[in-house]
Amino acid sequence: MRPRAPRHRRRAIGNPDRARETQRRKNTTETQRHREKQTRRSLSTQCGRRGALYLRVSVVDFLCVLSGLCVCPTSSTVPHDRLVISFRRHMPSFFRVLRVSCVVCALSVASRAAAQDLFEIQVYPYETVAPGVTMFEFHTNFTPSGSKGVEDGVYGNNRQFHETLEITHGWTKNFETGFYIETAPYVPGIGAKFTGWHVRPRFSFPEFKQFPFHVSLSFEYAFTQPGFDVNRQSLEIRPIFEREQGRLYLSINPDLSVPTKGPEAGSAPAFEPNFKVGWNFTEHVNAGIEYYAETGTVKRFDPLGDEHHILFGAADLNVSPDWELNFGVGKGLTGTSEQWILKAIIGYRFRHGGEKP
Superfamily of domain 110-351: monomeric porin ompg (2.40.160.40)
Q: Residue 181: its pLDDT value, please?
A: 98
Structural domain boundaries in the chain: 39-107, 110-351
The pLDDT tens digits along the chain (357 residues) read 433 333 333 333 345 566 566 667 766 666 766 666 665 555 444 544 444 444 444 444 444 433 333 333 333 344 444 433 333 443 344 445 445 444 444 433 333 334 457 899 999 999 999 999 999 999 999 999 888 888 888 999 899 999 999 999 999 999 999 999 999 999 999 999 999 999 999 999 999 888 999 999 999 999 999 999 999 999 999 999 999 999 999 999 999 999 999 999 989 988 889 999 999 999 999 999 999 998 778 888 777 778 889 999 999 999 999 999 999 999 999 877 789 999 999 999 999 864 555
CA distance linking residue 155 with residue 236, whole number of Å: 22
Q: Residue 197: its pLDDT value, please?
A: 98
E strand intervals along 205-339: 214-224, 233-245, 248-261, 270-280, 285-294, 296-297, 300-301, 308-317, 323-332
CA distance linking residue 318 with residue 193, whole number of Å: 33
Cα-only R_g, the chain: 27
Integer angstrom CA distances of residue 190 from 197, 201, 257, 344: 20, 33, 28, 24
CA distance linking residue 6 with residue 131, whole number of Å: 97
pTM over 0.85: no
CA distance linking residue 195 with residue 227, whole number of Å: 8
Helices (H), 71-218: 93-107
Confirm if 278 and 287 have CB atoms less than 8 A apart.
yes
Q: Residue 20: its pLDDT value, please?
A: 66
Q: Residue 356: its pLDDT value, please?
A: 59
